[in-house]
């Protein structure tokens, strides 16, 4: 079997893998990095967001290529149809699948046994960040990690916002948008502390002088590394899976990788390994490699999410605009996305209000869709060891890795949180107008948010309740790091990508320090030291 050598092996090409690659290359330009991705490259620039593809057919093609074993378009269904499918036990891939993703459960039998039926992955260069909504709110008080100092975390969040080009000006200011903010402010601002008021959603987006939007994917984080034909010592291999990590005496020596189209296998020798292939497949790879700390796959968390859709009442629209939009007009203003931040105890929820053009969920409308807003609200889910991913010793998934199944239950505390969130949502909906028939208040199936967390969670001690330390270094291994939403150790309600990128920024400091102290493959024991972290 052919052997290859690299300084750093990164498994996964999403925003976390891209963050590690970018920061390592900036600090240590001569470092050799190999990044591998199980799925195909969708665009010339590695990891570009598919919303930047102008041609509709090409964009759909890119979405389908990302769907793993489900290489065909999903039927368009409403939010209510999706939720009712779970409530009635009528589960199917077509009802639960969303463009650019594929369900972890591969058939109806698995879906019936899955307590997180909508759990999904994106299998492509860029991962799910080639398809995401780009929402980047900062976590609120109880969502923050208690054992990372606030000043330190804020610095990491600021760096993450810079990498992701986060802005609150992605959409132009409009009278209707201002009216939406005022309605929300009148309802919620008294409950919110200073700095956590109703505001435009921070979005990962670049706008030019014409106001045209370029949605941020891992390509933006990677910079020149994402360009086709990049000639430096960074290599991105698509359609290449990591089958197993090789380990010896608390040290990962390399990995077995396979090019899926050809079946060609190679052994990679690496100084340092970073596994960042989402919150589901990161623990899957560790488990397949015999790296099985007690907490691996456990404490699985996702915020319950409730959706409804409201048609703005006439007096609100007429007062702010003076007339209804002309449906044939191509120049009408876009409302955008708005945020009511999590702020415990006054508002222990995360609420976002979306114009339908930027909503990831379909809704039928019988009038002008520019008058419909989606009200989404999420609440904290109690974190429990019992909620987990289970990996099979005997069965495999479509790609030949250990098959996953899910244990995930709502507690009484969770149900009380959901009931309170519904009351808040009803209050907001009444202020805006009328809930439309196809968009009644609905608790979405578990997994719908695509924000699975905590499966390789960080902690302060190797006591069985965590997988890695506060710098994402896996307990018991001097050169193995994990990244992504799986490292988040506390329940959250907000979109987690910004926080996960910030944790990767912080972790990169330790990675860079280790690489500086390890000048050759033979000097692996230097990883056992404790170099200072800037």
Going residue by residue through the chain, which has 534 residues, state the pLDDT in tens, using 9 for 90 and above.
899 999 999 999 999 999 999 999 999 999 999 999 999 999 999 999 999 999 999 999 999 999 999 999 998 877 777 777 767 777 888 888 999 999 999 888 888 889 999 999 999 999 999 999 999 999 999 999 999 999 999 999 999 999 999 999 999 888 878 888 999 999 999 999 999 999 999 999 999 998 899 999 999 999 999 999 888 899 999 999 999 999 999 999 999 999 999 999 999 999 999 999 999 999 999 999 999 999 999 999 999 999 998 888 766 654 444 333 333 333 444 578 999 999 999 999 999 998 655 455 555 554 555 577 889 999 999 999 999 999 999 999 999 999 999 999 999 999 999 999 999 999 999 998 888 877 789 899 999 999 999 999 999 999 999 999 999 999 999 999 999 999 999 999 999 999 999 999 999 999 999 999 875 434 443 444 444 443
User: CA 311, CA 372: separation in Å to the nearest integer?
Assistant: 4
The two three-digit tokens of residue 21, written as one number: 């690659």
User: CA 277, CA 482: separation in Å to the nearest integer?
Assistant: 9
The continuous run of DSSP H or E covering 388 comes out as: strand 388-396
Sign of the four-CA dihedral 84, 118, 504, 389: positive
The two three-digit tokens of residue 370, written as one number: 């520019």
Identify the CA nearest to 447 among candidates 156, 51, 83. 83
Q: Measured at the alpha carbon of residue 152, what is the angle toward residues 501 and 225, in degrees to the nearest 5?
A: 30
Identify the CA nearest to 381 among candidates 440, 451, 429. 451
User: CA 162, CA 528: separation in Å to the nearest integer?
Assistant: 32
| DSSP 8-state code for residue 347 | B
The continuous run of DSSP H or E covering 510 comes out as: helix 497-516
Q: List the catalytic residues.
A: 451
User: CA 190, CA 176: separation in Å to the nearest integer?
Assistant: 22
Chain-centroid distance of CA 196 in Å reads 22
User: CA 476, CA 251: separation in Å to the nearest integer?
Assistant: 8
User: CA 94, CA 436: separation in Å to the nearest integer?
Assistant: 24
The two three-digit tokens of residue 487, written as one number: 């490292």
Identify the CA nearest to 38 among candidates 280, 219, 229. 280
User: CA 439, CA 227: separation in Å to the nearest integer?
Assistant: 42
Residue 322 φ then ψ, to 5°? 85, -15
- Please state, as a whole number, how many other Cβ atoms lie within 10 Å of the Cβ of residue 199: 17
Residue pair 339/351 in contact by the 8 Å Cβ criterion: yes
User: CA 164, CA 159: separation in Å to the nearest integer?
Assistant: 9
Residue 264 φ then ψ, to 5°? -70, 130
The two three-digit tokens of residue 127, written as one number: 């991962």
Identify the CA nearest to 66 among candidates 9, 132, 13, 121. 121
pLDDT of residue 317: 59
Across 29-176, the runs of DSSP E, i.e. the strands, are: 33-36, 102-103, 120-121, 166-167
Q: Which pTM was predicted? A: 0.93
The continuous run of DSSP H or E covering 157 comes out as: helix 150-164
């Amino acid at each position: 079997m052919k052997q290859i050598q690299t300084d750093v092996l990164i498994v996964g090409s999403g925003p976390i893998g891209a963050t590690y690659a970018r920061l390592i290359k900036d600090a240590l330009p001569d470092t050799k990095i190999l990044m591998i991705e199980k799925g195909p490259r969708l665009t010339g620039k590695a990891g570009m967001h598919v919303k930047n593809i102008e041609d509709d057919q090409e964009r759909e093609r890119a979405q389908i290529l990302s769907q793993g074993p489900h290489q065909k378009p999903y039927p368009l269904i409403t939010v209510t149809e999706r939720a009712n499918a779970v409530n009635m036990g009528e589960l199917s891939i077509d009802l639960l699948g969303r463009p650019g993703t594929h369900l972890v459960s591969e058939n109806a039998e698995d879906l019936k046994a899955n307590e997180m039926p909508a759990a999904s992955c994106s299998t492509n260069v860029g991962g799910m960040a080639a398809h995401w909504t780009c929402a980047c709110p900062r976590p609120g008080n109880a969502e923050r990690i208690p054992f990372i100092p606030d000043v330190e975390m804020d610095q990491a969040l600021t760096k993450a916002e810079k990498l992701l080009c986060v802005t609150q000006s992605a959409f132009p200011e409009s009278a209707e948008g201002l009216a939406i903010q005022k309605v929300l402010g009148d309802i919620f601002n008294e409950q919110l502390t200073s700095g956590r008021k109703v505001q435009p959603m921070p979005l990962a987006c670049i706008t030019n002088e014409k106001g045209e939007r370029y949605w941020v994917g891992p390509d933006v984080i990677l910079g020149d590394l994402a360009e086709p034909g990049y000639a430096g010592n960074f290599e991105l291999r698509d359609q290449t899976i990591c089958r197993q990590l090789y380990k010896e005496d608390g040290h990962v020596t390399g990995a077995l990788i396979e090019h899926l189209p050809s079946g060609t296998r190679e052994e990679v020798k690496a100084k340092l390994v970073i596994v960042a292939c989402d919150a589901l497949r990161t623990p899957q790879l560790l488990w397949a490699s015999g790296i099985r700390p007690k907490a691996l796959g456990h404490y699985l968390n996702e915020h319950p999410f409730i959706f409804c859709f409201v048609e703005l009442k006439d007096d609100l629209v007429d007062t702010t605009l003076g007339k209804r939009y002309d449906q044939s007009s191509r120049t009408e203003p876009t409302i955008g996305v708005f945020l009511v931040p999590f702020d415990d105890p006054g508002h222990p929820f995360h609420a976002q209000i979306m114009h339908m053009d930027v909503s990831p969920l379909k809704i039928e409308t019988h009038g002008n869709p520019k008058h419909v807003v989606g009200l989404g609200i999420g609440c904290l889910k109690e974190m429990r060891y019992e909620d987990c991913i289970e990996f099979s010793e005997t069965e495999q998934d479509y790609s030949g890795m250990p098959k996953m199944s899910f244990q995930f239950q709502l507690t009484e505390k969770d149900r009380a949180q959901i009931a309170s969130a519904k009351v808040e949502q009803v209050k907001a909906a009444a202020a805006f107008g009328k809930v439309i028939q196809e968009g009644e208040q609905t608790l979405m199936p578990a997994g719908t948010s695509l924000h699975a967390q905590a499966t390789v969670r960080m902690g302060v001690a190797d006591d069985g309740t965590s997988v890695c330390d506060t710098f994402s270094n896996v307990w018991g291994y001097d050169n193995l790091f994990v990244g992504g939403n799986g490292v988040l150790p506390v329940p959250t309600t907000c979109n987690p990508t910004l926080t996960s990128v910030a944790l990767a920024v912080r972790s990169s400091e330790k990675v860079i320090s280790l690489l500086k102290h390890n000048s050759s493959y033979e000097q692996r024991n230097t990883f056992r030291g404790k170099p200072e972290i800037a």
